[in-house]
Structure 1
Amino acid sequence: MNKNKLVLFFKNYLLLALLSICFLACVKNTSYTVVGNGWSGNSVNTVKFRKNALTAYKEFQFTAYYNQEGYLILGKRNIKSSNWTTLKTNYKGNVKDAHNSISIAVDGSGYLHVSWDHHNTKLRYAKSKEPLSLELGEETLMTWEQEDKVTYPEFYNLPNGNLVFFYRSGESGRGNLVINSYDIYTKKWTPLQSNLIDGEDKRSAYWQACVDAFGIIHMSWVWRETWGVETNHDVCYARSKDGGKTWEKSNGEIYNLPITLASAEIAWKIPQNSNLINQTAMDTDSNGNPYIATYFNEATIPQYQVIYLESNKWKKSNTGFRKTSFLLGGGGTKKIPIARPDILIDDTNIRTLVFILFRDEERGNKVSLAYSFLNDELPWKVVDLSKNEIGQWEPNYDIVLWKSQKELHIFLQNVTQIDGEGVAKEKASEVRILKVENLNKLIE
């Protein structure tokens, strides 16, 4: 190790040590607000692919969940207040299927959009009657095209106030990615992509996306060859600079649509039977560089991994702190020892700090946070943000609030998931919002 690297090593080591001390204080500065009581017989309220479970608009924050009877509950509060206003809607969902989650977004005019209750079923969607209102209008379709076999509905906010809506059309193992676009001036949805990623009737893509400060949509996905999770392979990438109309690779090469197995850019090659989980998580730094979080084997142990673009080259950081192995296989919602992760990037203090939000049986199934400067010579640090276990919860945080103010608000509920789409006989549990104070000031 040369002198410059040695100096940098000790600087980063000291900074991470100070961060660890700060995090110990930070955990004491966590606080909760209680929204209400939600269904907890499976993980339908807390699955990773909700976009979003929690979202902010100006000084307000919105959330949604199913109650014990399966009704769709909406919540709103002033962000500075601990008191939530909730509304029990007339709409219900099949809570016994953990795929049938609720996703929400607020458009640039303040209207709340809600989609819920999907697993290869007809689109269910409604919009609030007025800006900032919890009262929804009539259930309706969006475009009346490819809306009969919907799974994984997800909203994404664009900087101009418009929305894009992603979902899978078709069944697991042979589904296609569809995108609709919402215009806040016409108040109408239009089809944007009827088949962005084509499984060619042989496979399907399990994706996540994010929108950077420049309005570029970044998307990553894994391929899944059959209904069995063990057939997941490869992490792939695409981006759109025009709101989802055209797509390109990280080197600027334009994709001929639809994207297929043969044409997809592979950010990281991962073979089948590697314990690669479906769905990824994404964030970007202030320069628009993408970071992808997932987990797959390092040797024989599933580890949280970060795949990121640096100087036009894909790199990987293995968090490496897990000690126990497990095996993914089969279909349906799984009971897995660890949650699919979420990722947050903070580069407001020159260095890029990467956070991984997760849950792990090794740590007592608590809300945990790992963090690193992605320096291979320094180990990742981990801290628990909750004192009590939260069952088979998976992370979902307020992306809008994090992007705009670097405040971390996490949707939290203690839930039980029985393997293979099972349902537990559990009473309703509290739906809470966990706030971590001053996370972005830890390195000041």
Structure 2
Amino acid sequence: MTSKTVFVIFIFGLIVGNNPKIKTVLSNNEGSTTILSRKGSSRATAYIDSNKIIETKAHIFITYLVFENGKHHIAIKSFSKENKTWSTEVILDKVKDNHGGGSLAIDSQGYLHIAYGPHVGPFVYRKSINPNDIELFSEPIHVGENMTYPSLAIDNNDKIYLLGRHTILKGKWSLRLFCKEEEDKNWSIGKDILYSNYENWPIINDIQTGDPKYLYIKNGYSRWNKSIAIDKLNNLHITFKNYEYLPRNEKYSFTNNGNGGSYLIGYLKSEDGGITWKNKDKLITTPAYPSEIEIIEGNSDPKKVECNYGISNLILDKYNTPHVAFSKEFDSTSNFYLAYKKGDIWERKLINHAKTNRSFMYSPSSISYFDNHFYIVATAINKSNYDRQELWGKEQRHSFIQIFKLNSRYKIVEVFNSQDLMVSNPSWLPSLGRGNEYPPKLLFTQGDSKSNRTVVHYTDLN
């Protein structure tokens, strides 16, 4: 079935019983999605940092979290294009909690690589024993310490990169990059490339004196939702937001109840395998601070920011142009954009459509590119239910998935959502495959964010 046929079905609501093709699409009791698991974790398809989908000529590989017997486990499935069947679910390992989801990558020989596991601990790295096969993986190798949220990528020479958040108690948290040549057994010790603004806030001793003006959360906490992409020349591209807890004696329009907020969307590029990094054409000293990096949107000074920022993963088009989606989340509204780099300038395209005028879009979101088209999946909420404090985490109740297809001129050509797929709310945590060679595949979670009995959905968007 073609993409055009599927979208016509969704938009115009043709009668299922009169069209045998639609019956094929609606082959299970959840509409046109495939259910991979009914035992999903509360963060089954999180986080946007980690690529969850790998596709080859013969297979599709998926990873997600399941919850069983009171524990979180990392699961993998594969789809055979020849047989048109899904494999049995393979439980790879137990993980610490609902932050332990995996990041997948594949090398030039077809071996699968995965990093997963910690919530402030060492990453677990493993490689498949056989190409294009999920049955057996190597013994676990631990990478780093006090790490969370893996982002795994492999360049054209099969050099492996692993990017994550590094935690320091009452210190400046960082983005830390590890690398490993394919033939090496050992990973590098890791290099910090970005710090939070922790050091710019009042010193910890001021809090201990009891001065009420410094009464705020002070542990260096940062959240980046970063992702990494590698272009045809093996240049590294990284995008991220910058979320921190800010001084409670300061009033900000964009922070949450704990005075935490994300006040910029940033970008870094390395042309030498992560040794040096640039802000446009200027080399910067690493670890860098928010004031030193290339800013896509927002400001390194949170006092100059009026909204909270959310972000998607990063993708590159056929010209190696970086693209990222992001949201500007206000108290009573949210705006959703696609940003792409044109020379030294970041252009922004507002993503909106007549079919979405009753809802607001925000992040977590995901983006993919195939055949001169961009596919963007945003989390959405009806305007009547909008509450910025509900846009993430434990209060998730009303969300659904909004899907856009754009042509090469960034014009929206097709729109549908998870309700069109007959998947009920809340539906969230979207993750698109990030390769450019095959039509995009979507993974997302349906279920209450407080529940460990969510449903993991898979959808072919083409």
Shorter-chain TM-score range: 0.7 to 0.9
Distance verdict in 2 for CA 1:311–1:347, change over 3 Å: farther
Residues 292-326 of structure 1 show CA distances to partners (whole Å, capped at 9, x for unaligned) of 21111479511111222224322222224566799
Partner residue, 1:398: 433
Shift of 1:137: 2.6
1:216 aligns with 2:235: yes
Match of 1:315 in 2: 347
- Aligned equivalents of 1:390, 1:125: Cα separation in 2: 34
How much does 1:129 deviate? 2.9
SS of residue paired to 1:130:
coil
Kindly report which structure 2 residues correspond to 1:17-416, keeping only aligned pairs within 5 A, or say none: 23-24=7-8, 34=34, 36-40=36-40, 42=42, 44-69=43-68, 70-89=72-91, 91-95=93-97, 97=98, 99-134=99-134, 135-142=136-143, 147-170=144-167, 174-191=172-189, 193-199=190-196, 201-202=198-199, 204=222, 206=224, 207-226=226-245, 228=258, 230-250=260-280, 252-270=281-299, 271=302, 274-297=306-329, 300-320=332-352, 338-346=362-370, 348=372, 353-362=373-382, 365-372=399-406, 382-384=415-417, 386-389=421-424, 391-400=426-435, 403-405=436-438, 407-416=439-448
> Partners of 1:195 and 1:214 in 2: how far apart?
23
Which deviates the most, 358-367 or 174-183? 358-367
Q: Following the alignment from structure 1 to structure 2, what is the Cα–Cα distance between the partners of residues 57 and 381?
A: 26
**8 Å contact kept, 1:107–1:184:** no
- 2:315 is matched by which residue type in structure 1? D
The answer on whether the counterparts of 2:74 and 2:95 sit within 8 Å (CA) in structure 1 is yes
SS at match of 1:262: helix
1:349-368 CA distance string (max 9 Å, x none): xxxx4432123232974442
Change beyond 3 A, Cα 1:390–1:137: farther
Structure 1 residues 355 and 390, CA, compared in 2 at 3 Å: closer, same or farther?
A: same
State the identity as a percent: 17
Deviation at 1:101, TM superposition (A): 1.9
In the alignment, which residue of structure 1 is the partner of 2:205? none
Q: CA 1:79/1:124 → structure 2, altered by over 3 Å: closer, same or farther?
A: same
| Secondary structure, counterpart of 2:193 in structure 1 | coil
2-side partners of 1:161 and 1:229: how far apart? 42
Higher relative strand content: 2
Partner of 1:16: none
Query: 1:196·1:257 contact (CA, 8 Å) conserved in 2?
Result: yes
Query: What is the one-letter code of the residue matched to 1:368?
Result: Q
Taking the aligned partners of 1:181 and 1:283, their CA distance within structure 2 comes to 20
CA distance in 1, matches of 2:344, 2:371: 18
| CA contact 1:47–1:393 (8 Å) conserved in 2 | no
Distance 1:41 1:339 in 2: 19
Show CA shifts across 1:359-382 (max 9, x none). Answer: 323297444222446979x78863
Distance 2:235 2:95 in 1: 33
Q: How far apart are residue 112 of structure 1 and its match?
A: 2.3
Q: How many equivalent pairs are there?
A: 385
- Structure 1's 388 and 266: CA in aligned 2 closer, same or farther, altered over 3 A? same
Whole-angstrom distance in 2 between the partners of 1:121 and 1:284: 31
Is 1:436 the counterpart of 2:449? The answer is no
Deviation, structure 1 residue 169: 0.8
- Seen in structure 2, the aligned counterparts of structure 1 residues 260 and 339 have a Cα distance that, compared at 3 Å, is closer
User: Take 1:229 and 1:315, find their aligned partners in 2: how far apart are those partners?
Assistant: 30
So what's the TM-score if we normalise by structure 2?
Answer: 0.72
Give 1:68's aligned amino acid.
Answer: F
Alpha carbons 1:109, 1:184 under 8 Å: kept: no
Unaligned 5+ runs, structure 1: 1-18, 327-336, 418-422, 438-444
- CA deviation after TM superposition for structure 1 residue 233, in Å: 0.7
* 1:91 CA displacement: 1.9
1:176 corresponds to which letter in structure 2? Answer: S
Q: CA deviation digits over 1:188-246, x for unaligned, max 9?
A: 4324x511112264454612222233332211222223285742111221112223222
Cα distance in structure 2, aligned partners of 1:113 and 1:260:
31
RMSD (Å), alpha carbons: 3.5
Shift of 1:55: 0.9
Q: Deviations over 1:35-87 (max 9, x none)?
A: 64253351x21224252211124422212223331333222232344312235
Q: RCO higher in 1 or 2 (8 Å CA, sep ≥ 6)?
A: 1
The CA deviation at 1:435 is 0.9
Code of the residue aligned with 1:77 in structure 2: it is F
1:281/1:294 contact within 8 Å kept: no
Distance (Å, rounded) in 1 between the aligned partners of 2:240 and 2:112: 27
- Give structure 2 stretches of 5+ with no counterpart: 12-21, 27-31, 200-219, 247-257, 384-397
* TM-score relative to the length of structure 1: 0.74
Change over 3 Å in CA distance of 1:275–1:161 after alignment to 2:
same
> 1:151: how far off?
0.7
Contact 2:312/2:363 (8 A) holds in 1: no
